[in-house]
Structure 1
């Protein structure tokens, strides 16, 4: 009986030691805290974009396109050379419609956009182009790329400055302290262009009152997601 006891005891001690070691390796070294902070930056929009289009109808597809092409060439000539205004001819389409009676009608259409920081000049030019026969399709405010990058940097800095303070306050509340910040993820949320509702306007002869567009404040947000390790 004594021999049996002496043989079993080392095995029992070994098994117990291995069990304790495994539990220690599986247990976490500290408390993990996941949280998110947000930084914001605000500014008035700096870039105005006006969208117009020209169209021509004819029973001949070729004639509809010829008329539209000549019309848009004149419009681009009027828009080109304007300081601070970027004029761009955009999408082009040709569609047909066949009524129950009568020949097929072809419609050619092309979009034209005006964009820039000089809102008054852009609105004035858009009025002249509408007097020339183009039609308004939309008007929207946004941020130019330089201003957008500046605002994103401000929002990101604000969010990152909140990280350490938020982690330390949460740790104190839990009776712990911050060991380290293990993961930091940064993401941004940018507003899209803000469309402006337009009232229908009627031209009288060659005169046309330009549309009015009131800029609304833009807000850029940067979110920082953090994983912190806390310990007693």
Structure 2
């Protein structure tokens, strides 16, 4: 390979990778807009969540195997506040003590979250992996190992949202318990692990089969499933 061929190959590879990320980002953005247009008016609470860098995944700083967005229903009495922000300055897997105070979302007991995730590639499956869109509804947010008041709420930081995305990705049981802890609202600021019910079986679609005009239907399907679970299970 000549120097010119090398430069051309690198330029083509970089353009290709960046285009994939742009397309995945656009898909999640359009899907979020479709969710916002549903009766529940789902709003984004954490966007552009990406894998954390660790000893097992040192390349995650440069190659994102997935992009994800977390949404929550925005009804009139909604208690979900804020936006956990972008992931551009949150690369470390062990960063729970380093996040900015503003990157916090308040999730009430009984609250629901919708995790939308575009899996671009799997480093453990170099061949045969099919990029996909996965949508998971998590309901009945609660403290995993202690009793709290029915009107209690939890302060959820961005690093925990990343763990929630991972828990939702492997959701095959009726409930999930993400690693990490949230902070219980109140004067004592207790930390507690969270648990969620998996409201419905995750929706998984091949990335190649997802057309933009199908996103409103997909969002409406998820919103209907959330409504069927009962608004009291938010």
TM-score when normalising by structure 2: 0.29
Bigger radius of gyration among the two: 1
Structure in which a larger fraction of residues adopt helix: 1
The structure with higher relative contact order (CA 8 Å, sep 6+) is: 1
TM-score when normalising by structure 1: 0.29
